[in-house]
Amino acid sequence: MRPAVFLDRDGTINEDTGDLYSRDNLIFIPRAFEALRMLQARYLLFIITNQPGIGRGVFSGAQFEDFMRDYTAILRDEGITIIETYCCPHLKDDNCECRKPSPHYIELARDRYAIDVENSYVIGDHPHDIEMGRRAKAHTVYLLTGHGAKHRGELLVTPEHTAANLFEAAQWIVTRR
């Protein structure tokens, strides 16, 4: 079994510019590539993202998939491999099993890729990322990028660490082992 890092996408790896499905609006957070390379030296990398824009009809699942092919190609060109991206396309009121804070996608990755969840991390800029990590019994890092600073007071569970950005989170994680 191998440990992994489960990353939120918008506000964690890239700037949260709203419903993101076009490279025109894609801006990576400074030092995100460096952070991801640092993490992948020890962990498998996954993205778990809620994309209610699909459920609202702002963009289609096919547009999301096309965008993610470009997105992961950019990362691959930077020497970064995302093992898989998991996307919940539903609205909050749909009460689906896959929307964060549900640990559904972490459990799916655990079973599909033999992930050691208890030695894995969840990194995100929203309280539901931290809650998802805790429900899965993974370690958690809350970021102050994206929505992080704005929603910090809404945390229902305490993250193990809070970092200014993904690079600081990666530094903290790799120095723990």
Give the tens place of pLDDT for each residue, 100-124.
999 999 999 999 999 999 999 999 9
Give the tens place of pLDDT for each residue, 136-159.
999 999 999 999 999 999 999 999
Question: 139 pairs with which residues across the strands?
Answer: 121
The CATH homologous superfamily to which domain 4-176 belongs is HAD superfamily/HAD-like (3.40.50.1000)
Q: What letter does residue 95 receive in the DSSP assignment?
A: -
Query: Which pLDDT belongs to residue 4?
Result: 98
Token duo for residue 169: 């989170």
Helix (H, G, I), strand (E, B) or coil at 134: helix
Residue 177 has pLDDT above 70, yes or no: no
Give the tens place of pLDDT for each residue, 19-70.
999 999 999 999 999 999 999 999 999 999 999 999 999 999 999 999 999 9
Instruction: Write the CB contacts of 62 (distance below 8 Å, at least 6 apart in sequence).
Output: none
Give domain limits for the chain: 4-176
